[in-house]
Chains A and B, each alone.
Chain A
Amino acid sequence: MRAHSIFKNFYRDSVALMQLSAKVGGLEGVELASALMGTPANQEMMVAAGLLDAPMAEVAPNDLVFVVKGTEEATQLAVAEFERLLTAAETKGAAKEEKPFGSLAEALKARPEATFALISVPGEYAGAEAMKALHRGLNVMLFSDNVPEWQEIALKKYAFEHGLLVMGPDCGTAIIAGVPLAFANVVGRGNIGVVGASGTGTQEVTTIVDQLGGGVSHAIGTGGHDLSVSVGGLTMRSGIAALAEDVETKVIVLVSKPPAKEVAEAVLAQASSVGKPVVVCFLGAAPGSITGKNLTQANTLEEAAHKAIALANGQAPSFTSVTASTPRVQQRATDLKKVLAPGQKYVRGLYSGGTFCYEALLSLQTILPEVFGNTPTGKAQKLANIHKSQGHTVIDLGDDDFTRGKPHPMIDPSQRNERLLHEAADPETAVVLLDVVIGYGANADPAGELAGAVREARAIAQKGGRELVFIGFVCGTDKDVQGLASQRKKLEEAGVHLCSSNAEAIALTGAVLVG
């Protein structure tokens, strides 16, 4: 059936009326609804649409006509609703909402003063975003991984030629002028500049510098592929040049796995010529293999931090990390191993930081007969099954092996905690070696999460009549939101034997297991 209502001398423009018609037309049971000013032409249109049988003589052009077709109930409701809508004051929001930027282009239009882009979009798009940022004169930190190598080269060449910095791809850590970027710690400002190809390596060096009372000018990340032959260390070279020019920086620290020979030569030649002391920590390089004017080799991350501070203070860089045979380590180990039963023979290193794991694999293979891992290096061997430890096992739970489709263990500890309980149930497990990384990007309370798992693991072992030795360290500072001291306390209370660095934790582990 049809219903209509007439509003005498009531003008609304046609667009507003069409809008109201559309709203009322959407009501259930309404077949068709239309509101128009009552001109003859409009009435003819309503007739043509089957809403009227004939034009209504009583309707004048200045009258508003509403006609509706549908079920009886619906037409009545529609007439009422139309009247309500027609007379309701339209007060819908006057404020122009502030929308977030949808692209770099938009953000830059609003913030032309921007100097830096931090990019963590999916790898297949990240290179293009970085290139756009560089083309607009921004420096870039590219957290994203899986950027094609040819794009990385194009980005770095462009940046190199235009005096811009591109950190990454695959760059997890940087500190620029005291500002931590991505996974980084709050460290004091000072005169030590770092260029690091490894994120956790840079975190370890900068946090130890801070703990020792030193400070960091800048920590430049290069990303994991920068020192390959094809990329040629372009970012590391730019980084060295930038820190060389930077007035705040007195000492430069380089952190990386040993690069390809020609890349290492180029980097070291440059480092040797910038006129500032440079501490070179190429983890795994043979001790004594890095020499040259102004160059000081460091064999551990800890050593790099100590030597940099000495050099910054004008002292000789004499520090060396402890080893398994250092008397004070031996003494501590003697106490620890008292609790071990004869069948408990092996270390199970469960790392969240890739470089820490790498450092442990390198060091432990020199004192233990056989070491296994998911990311073996040197003499270390690949685990038959990465989910099951065998003999001395040191694994990187932050590797793609474990993080594909799952959060990184620095963010979500559940995978490592689970693995910890498995190791506790293994009667051959003697030492569990653990790292805890705090700072931005990391879990809000990693030590608290781990302490719970450690207690549970201990209970499992005790059920089997065993005690476990937990050895660990915390990478971070008291200025980090999680707090170094409180994180250490939580681990200590759970019975973890704490060391001041990864190097020391590895040494202590070795000492417990050997001799």
Chain B
Amino acid sequence: MKSILSSDLSVINLGLVRFAEPLQDMGTPVAACQWQPPAEGNPEIGWKLAELVNHPKVEEANKIAFERYLASTPVLEGIATAADVIPAMQGKKLILHSGPPIAWADMCGPQKGAVCGAAVLEGWAATTEEAATLVEKGEIAIDSCNHHNAVGPMAGITSPSMPVWVVRDTVNGNTTFSNMNEGLGKVLRFGANSDEVLHRLRWMRDVLAPVLKATLAHMEPLELKPLIAQAMHMGDECHNRNVAATSLLFRKLVPVALRHGVASPKELDEAFAFIAGNDHFFLNLSMAACKAMLNAAAGVPGSSMVTVMARNGIKFGIQLSAFPGRWFQADAPYVEGLFFPGYSQADAARDLGDSAITETCGIGGFAMAAAPAIVQFVGGTSDDALNNTISMKQITLGINGNFTLPMLNFTGTPAGIDARLVADTGIRPVINTGIAHKDAGVGQIGAGVTWAPMPCFTAAIEALYEEVCK
């Protein structure tokens, strides 16, 4: 206290604006706050939050978690069949979906449609109707991708015979998986399950995956952070814009594939034409890389760092590093954005997919400054894109110097969401995302921006308080 009487005052004024007046008159530095009640105006949680602010145990834990996240070095190891790398799938009728776990009866339309399509693809059911009955009876199990180190965009449906990207963190040793991107239009991840959809999935399994697998076998494990960083300098944020990253990946693969003649000219033609025709091909790989970086940060007792954000079209769930596997959920929001011709907000599903793992990792919406084109989805300017990135600095533990932003003088992206700061500032993590039709199989009907719902974070704060302060 000696210091307050003997040192110069520098004041933060929280509340009545006119109390800043004497300070200004006296030439004392004063910062005004347009204060808003934190923690959604719940004073009880607000107090718990206050107890956690600057708590030594949480600070220390966050430091460890954030350092592990920064050190993580995800590489693309190869392609595998899901059942071969996800133990729970071996010999089991198990289908993984995006977001927090959810009962079949509660699933959203696109996810139900995709589950049925996958069951038919696996040969467990002859028709989607039969598939629905089997899932209902529990003969086909469903579970969250995130419970198995996997992530999938939109419906996120991953079944045992599907090829998956295998990403390994060479520093922390954990391995993550993601299914492969089917392109736009009528695709399984938006709940479509027609013959055309299943045909494409079979082709991906039988042609695309072997071509890529054989190509990757001739390559050193591909480091993904530099590739993402390079794509971000080319206008991607690697969630809703992946055109540069897809091109960079394409450039790595094609010469190797040709040099080694890994497949017939027809197969090579089909496979690379498919990749070239899908601007989002890299998205799933981006997600697996992000999942690996965040798995590295998970499991530090007392850490308030967010390690998962995922949505199943009904609920939005987050996990904290302190509580691996424990979900804090709220209703999934709707996405603000622009719609393809003929569609409107009334057709939209709630926010869906594991792809918010990119924002959790400090790219996607958090790196909007790298991809100003994205912000036009919500009628914004490129300044809004910069401001969105800048505002995320208020809720993150630090910046990730691996992913730099040219428009912001090459500072790193804000990364490591601190649930305490979200609850305290009321600033919610921003997410760039596609909009699915609420009915199965229609597909993507728009794209835009949404924000993670606050109750996830306040619930996490209450749990952390019990853990740390009791």
Interface residues of chain A, those whose CB is within 8 Å of chain B, are 13, 15-16, 18-19, 21-23, 32, 34, 36, 45-46, 48-51, 90, 92-96, 100-111, 113-122, 124-125, 127-129, 131-133, 135-139, 143-144, 151, 163-165, 176-182, 184, 186, 217-218, 238, 241-243, 245-247, 440-441
What are 6 sample pairs from A and B whose C-beta atoms fall under 8 A apart? A105-B421, A106-B33, A115-B11, A120-B16, A178-B26, A246-B5
Are A102's CB and B36's CB within 8 A?
yes
Q: Indicate whether B468 reaches chain A with its CB closer than 8 angstroms.
A: no
- Cα A180 to Cα B426 in complex, Å, equals 31
Q: Indicate whether B244 reaches chain A with its CB closer than 8 angstroms.
A: no
Nearest chain-B residue to A34 (Cβ)?
Answer: B341
Nearest chain-B residue to A16 (Cβ)?
Answer: B376
- The main secondary structure of chain A at its interface with chain B is mixed
Which of B44-52, B222-230, B256-264 interfaces with chain A?
Answer: B44-52
Please name all residues of chain B whose beta carbon is closer than 8 Å to the beta carbon of A96 when the two chains form the complex: 383, 386-387, 390
Beyond A32-B342, A107-B12, A179-B26: 4 further Cβ-contacts under 8 Å?
Answer: A102-B35, A131-B47, A245-B5, A440-B21
Are B338's CB and A105's CB within 8 A?
no
- Cα A181 to Cα B11 in complex, Å, equals 10
- Cα A337 to Cα B309 in complex, Å, equals 80
Are B425's CB and A103's CB within 8 A?
yes
Interface size on B, residues (CB 8 A): 65
Instruction: Please count the residue pairs between chain A and chain B whose beta carbons lie under 8 angstroms apart in the complex.
Output: 223
Are A106's CB and B425's CB within 8 A?
yes
Are A22's CB and B338's CB within 8 A?
yes
Q: Indicate whether B29 reaches chain A with its CB closer than 8 angstroms.
A: yes
List the 7 shortest-distance A-B pairs measured between CB atoms, nearest first: A49-B342, A120-B15, A34-B341, A131-B50, A128-B50, A18-B338, A135-B54
Q: Indicate whether B3 reaches chain A with its CB closer than 8 angstroms.
A: yes
Are B15's CB and A177's CB within 8 A?
no
Nearest chain-A residue to B424 (Cβ)?
Answer: A105
- Cα A96 to Cα B29 in complex, Å, equals 23
A180/B22 contact (C-beta < 8 A), A102-B35, A109-B393, A128-B50 known: yes
Distance from B56 Cβ to chain A, minimum over Cβ atoms (Å): 10
Q: Indicate whether B313 reaches chain A with its CB closer than 8 angstroms.
A: no
Please name all residues of chain A whose beta carbon is closer than 8 Å to the beta carbon of B338 when the two chains form the complex: 15, 18-19, 21-22
Are A245's CB and B2's CB within 8 A?
yes
Residues 44-90 (chain B) with a chain A CB within 8 angstroms: 46-47, 49-51, 53-55
Contact of A100 among B34, B373, B377, B426 (CB under 8 A): B34
- The main secondary structure of chain B at its interface with chain A is mixed
Distance from B294 Cβ to chain A, minimum over Cβ atoms (Å): 23
- Cα A120 to Cα B35 in complex, Å, equals 10
- Cα A238 to Cα B425 in complex, Å, equals 31
Q: Indicate whether B219 reaches chain A with its CB closer than 8 angstroms.
A: no
Distance from B275 Cβ to chain A, minimum over Cβ atoms (Å): 18
Contact of B12 among A45, A138, A151 (CB under 8 A): A138
Are B4's CB and A128's CB within 8 A?
no
Q: Indicate whether B406 reaches chain A with its CB closer than 8 angstroms.
A: no
Please name all residues of chain B whose beta carbon is closer than 8 Å to the beta carbon of A129 when the two chains form the complex: 14, 35, 50
- Cα A458 to Cα B29 in complex, Å, equals 47
Distance from A239 Cβ to chain B, minimum over Cβ atoms (Å): 9
Contact of B9 among A115, A124, A137 (CB under 8 A): A115
Most B-side CB within 10 Å, residue of A50, A110, A128, A177: A128
A101/B32 contact (C-beta < 8 A), A15-B376, A45-B340 known: yes
Distance from A22 Cβ to chain B, minimum over Cβ atoms (Å): 6
Please name all residues of chain B whose beta carbon is closer than 8 Å to the beta carbon of A136 when the two chains form the complex: 53-54
Q: Contact flags (1/0) for B107-151 with A, using CB distance below 8 Å?
A: 000000000000000000000000000000000000000000000
Are A125's CB and B26's CB within 8 A?
no
- Cα A125 to Cα B10 in complex, Å, equals 23
Q: Indicate whether B339 reaches chain A with its CB closer than 8 angstroms.
A: yes
